[in-house]
């Protein structure tokens, strides 16, 4: 398994740190269901057997946070995006739907 970092190209796995499921979102701490939401966010995972969106940190490289979409049953990497781009796209999508 190798990860193609958008900045550095295809690099060995030992340059990266894994940081788990990228689909969980930190809930609103001021919401009325905040306690339950934080339990779900912190501890519960879908843990699917197929494609999995996950966070990787290029620790021994460019220090970028990446969102990798990988099939966890075959280890085939489908896509690698910069986590920054993913976050910005999500932000502008929320803005569009709000306006």
Partner 1 sequence: MMKGQTGATGRPHMTSTHYSIFSVLREALRGHTGWGPAWRNAEPKPDYDVVIIGGGGHGLSTAYYLAKNYGPLRIAVLEKGWIGGGNVGRNTTIVRSNYLLPGNIPFYELSMKLWEGLEQDLNYNAMVSQRGVLNLYHSDAQRDAFARRGNAMRLHGVDAVLLDQAAVRKMVPFLDFDNGRFPIHGGLLQPRGGTVRHDAVAWGYARGADRLGVDIIQNCEVKGFIRDGGRVTGVETSRGLIGAKKIAMAVAGSSSRVAAMAGLRLPIESHVLQAFVTEGLKPFIDGVVTFGAGHFYISQSDKGGLVFGGDLDGYNSYAQRGNMPVVEDVCEGGMALMPRIGRVRLLRHWGGIMDMSMDGSPIIDKTPVDGLYLNSGWCYGGFKATPASGYCFAHLIARDAPHPVAAAYRLDRFATGHAIDEKGMGPQPNLH
Residue 58 Cα to chain centre, angstroms: 13
What letter does residue 26 receive in the DSSP assignment? Answer: P
- Report the residue from 72, 87, 90, 93 that binds partner 1 according to the rule CB under 8 A: 72
Residue 69's Cβ-side half-sphere holds a number of Cα atoms within 13 Å equal to 6
Q: Mark the segment that binds partner 1 (CB under 8 A) among 25-33, 73-81, 85-93.
A: 73-81
- Report the residue from 6, 23, 31, 39 that binds partner 1 according to the rule CB under 8 A: 39
Query: Any contact of residue 33 with partner 1 (CB under 8 A)?
Result: no
Q: What does the block give as tokens for 63? A: 């220090």
Contact 50, 69 (CB under 8 A): no
- The residue written with tokens 């030992």 in the block is 14
- The residue written with tokens 């969102």 in the block is 67
Query: Any contact of residue 54 with partner 1 (CB under 8 A)?
Result: yes
Q: Mark the segment that binds partner 1 (CB under 8 A) among 25-33, 34-42, 82-90, 91-99.
A: 34-42
* Residue numbers at the binding site for partner 1 (CB under 8 A): 1, 12-14, 18, 20-21, 36, 39-40, 42-49, 52, 54, 70, 72-75
């Amino acid at each position: 398994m190798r990860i193609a970092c958008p900045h550095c190209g295809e690099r060995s796995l030992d340059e990266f740190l894994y940081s788990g499921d990228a689909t969980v979102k930190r809930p609103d701490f001021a919401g009325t269901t905040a306690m339950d939401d934080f339990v779900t966010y912190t501890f519960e995972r879908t843990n699917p057997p197929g494609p999995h969106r996950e966070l990787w940190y290029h620790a021994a490289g460019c220090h970028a946070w990446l969102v990798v979409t990988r099939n966890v049953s075959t280890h085939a990497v489908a896509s690698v995006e910069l986590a920054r781009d993913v976050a910005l796209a999500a932000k502008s999508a929320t803005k569009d739907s709000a306006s």
